[in-house]
Structure formats: C-alpha cells, structure tokens
Amino acid sequence: MTTNTAATLDSLRRLPLFAHLTDNDSACVEGGQTLRFAAGEIIVREGEPAEHFFVVLEGNVSASKNFGEQEAVITEHHPGGFFGEIPMLLNTPYFITARARCESRLFQLPKKTFWNLISTCPSVATQIVRSVAARLRTLLAFSQHRDKLASLGRMAAGLAHELNNPAAAAHRAAAQLDEAVEKLETVTQPLHHCRVGLCRRRFLGENL
C-alpha cells in the first residue's frame, strides 16, 4: 500500500461509511481521488452518464431534481454523506444535479472501484443498501407531495376561473350600464330643454 493510499484510507476511516475498513482493504479505494469544488460549482448534472461515486469530506453539497419546469432541492449532503450509488447500482444516468453549496472537498471513486468496494466490503455495502432504501422513500414522498400540491394548484386555478367569470360579467355589465346612462343623458338633455321652453311659453301666454 503506497503512502498516498494509506493516507487516503486513514482519512476515509474517519467517516461512518468507511469506519470498518482495514489496511487490507486498500484496494477498495485505489483509483479514487480527492477533488475540490468552489461554491456553486456543479459536481454532477441530472441526465449525465453516471461514472463516479462521491463521498463528502468537507463542505456541503445539495442534490436537486427537475420536476417538469421546476428544479427542487430534495436533500443535502454534509461531511460523511455520499451520493451517486443509485445510478451506479441501476446502471442509469444521474437522476439528480449535485452542486457545492460552499467550498467543498469530495472523494471520487470510479465505477469499477465502486463495484469492487461493495463486493469486498460487506459493512460498506450494507450502509449503501440502507441509504438506497431511505432515498427511494424520500423521493417517493417528495413526488407524492408535489403531486398533491399540483392537484391543489389545479383546483385553485379552477375555482379562481369560476369566480372570475361572474366577476368579469358583472364588470362588463357595469361598464355597459355606465355607457347606457351616458347615452340616455345625451338623449334626454335636449328633451329637457324643450320641455322647459314649452312651459315658459305656456306660462307667458296665460299671463298676457
């Protein structure tokens, strides 16, 4: 085991996922590398081929997913957290976009090393399987919650439409009534003057 690999293994054993690794497990992390990401930098993007498994050593990483035209953060990964295991196991593209929330340091394992890790280290495989189950439950609950919100949104939009229709009709009727009053005033004003003139002539004729 090289000094670099030994130092990496010692660093990883401080994390819960790798706590039970021994010196004989050095092959499980060979080929991995430590990477740094600036705040806001994208680590993986949803839909890209899944080639690596990541473990957060320092910092904070958010995982977001597109739902229609909206992107929503579904979880955050702190030191000791990891992501990328589900697409590795299912052989699918990444289903989330991972972004560094602050300056972060991550350990990256290529796909081949990841499979070697879970096949030779039962403690790691157990934790990863538990994590997969928990994340699938979280995704299901999140999806159901968004479906409920979408249903409520459609209901609210329908209700607003029903309320707006009478309001719009009343507004149009009021405008038409106002217009009719203006026309009526225009028509009755000459009649009013004519009636006043007729009354004056009658009054003058009776008093002559």
205 inside domain: no
The total of structural domains in the chain comes to: 1
What digits encode the pLDDT tens for the residues 168-188?
555 555 565 566 556 555 655
The secondary structure element, H or E, covering residue 172 is helix 122-206
Which residue range is the domain that position 142 belongs to? 3-148
In terms of Cα–Cα distance, which of 13, 9, 2, 17 is closest to 118?
Answer: 17
196 inside domain: no
pLDDT above 60: residue 202: no
CATH assignment at residue 78: 2.60.120.10
Please say whether the beta carbons of 55 and 83 come within 8 A.
no
pTM for this predicted structure: 0.65
- How far, CA to CA in Å, does 82 sit from each of 44, 73, 184, 190? 13, 16, 78, 87
What digits encode the pLDDT tens for the residues 28-65?
888 899 999 999 999 999 999 999 999 999 999 999 98
Of 17-21, 107-111, 152-156, minimum mean pLDDT range: 152-156
pLDDT above 70: residue 189: no
State the average pLDDT over residues 187-204.
50
